[in-house]
Amino acid sequence: MEMIVLWVVVFLALSFDFINGFHDTANAIATSVSTRALKPRVAILMAAVMNFVGAITFTGVAATIGKGVADPAKLSNGVEIVIAALLAAIAWNLITWWFGIPSSSSHALIGSLAGAVIAGAGLDAINSGGLIKIVQALIFSPLIAFSAGFILMMILKYVFAKSSPHQVNKGFRFGQILTAAFQSFSHGTNDAQKAMGIIVFGLVAAGIQDTMDVPLWVKISAATAMALGTSIGGWKIIKTMGTKIFKIEPINGFAADMGSAAVILTATMFHLPVSTTHVITSSILGVGSAKRFSAVKWGVAGRILIAWVITIPITVLMAALFYWLIDLFFM
């Protein structure tokens, strides 16, 4: 019975990873698609491949997710907690995808895991130090990405101020192919690690292993699930990210992709889980502000910000509810 429950965890974690793939893929390719640097199908295929490569390259973020919120070895009901967390995170991802809102899968997962742990083991089971570190990374990374996008765009404006706009955009349309690939790679290095970390959390909680090392089969499974999800693409979110914040030209898309990918990859190097959605959106906002502050549709940005703010508290409550339902009917 325990093994069946554990396989439920693996299935849900890979489902979350798959949904994360088509939910967040839009972030990585939205600018290159909106400027027609890449055809949609080509962009999605490239993103799928680069997400897979990124996913199997690093594991540090997985370890942070696996032990940052709580110690799975100390939770007698850790597997049930993971199931509740994943159900809540998946539900929120699907809700926000349906409405085309670029919400954060990372916020959803962290909020859900914290809510399930509190419901199942109490507030004392939360690793406050690790959770604070994760939340700090989630908060500060968008601010850094906004600054990176703004500064990079200002530099490009200065360098190409006297150049022909047509020639500049022609050159940067090619450059966007490279930055979109870099963006997709960096996305895989961070986001796929979260599903790996949750699976390892479940393995340790079930007593299958006693370290936070990520088994090879977990790496390949998570990388494949994200790549398959990526291959579907999230067209509603592509439309929001690529057209509704401000009118993106190739030079803007290049700056936004380069700035956000650099922030995400740096966070991965420091084993910090960040919201790729927040980082990429913030970089686009920074670039738009540098281009012309009034060009940014701040009303759309405001609605996106509201989704960011409410994601963690809502998923905390959703996960607690799922845990109580599991406890009521199955435990």
Output phi, psi for 126, to 5 deg. Answer: -70, 130
Indicate whether 115 pLDDT > 90.
yes
Q: What is the mean pLDDT of the chain?
A: 85
Stretch 265-283: mean pLDDT? 88
Report how far Cα 205 is from the mean position of its chain's Cα atoms. Answer: 24
Indicate whether 44 pLDDT > 90.
no
Scanning 35-127, the segments in alpha helix (DSSP H) are 40-55, 60-68, 78-98, 105-121
d(CA 187, CA 193): 10
- pTM, whole model, 2 decimals? 0.86
- Report helix angle 165-205 to 60-68, nearest 10: 50
Q: How confident is the model at residue 1 (pLDDT cuts 50, 70, 90)?
A: low
d(CA 10, CA 83): 9
Contact between 230 and 48 under an 8 Å Cβ cutoff? The reply is yes
Which of 187-191, 243-247, 269-273, 302-306 is predicted least confidently? 243-247
pLDDT 10s digits, 46-104? 888 898 999 898 888 988 888 888 999 888 888 999 999 999 999 998 888 777 676 77
Amino acid of residue 322? F
Q: How confident is the model at residue 242 (pLDDT cuts 50, 70, 90)?
A: very low
pLDDT of residue 2: 67
| 202-207-209-214 Cα dihedral, nearest 10 degrees | 0
Stretch 216-221: mean pLDDT? 92
Sign of the alpha-carbon dihedral angle for 180, 251, 149, 299: negative
Domain locations in the chain? 2-324
Comparing CA positions, the residue from 138, 161, 143, 129 lying closest to residue 259 is: 143
d(CA 212, CA 194): 13
Stretch 272-289: mean pLDDT? 86
d(CA 296, CA 152): 17
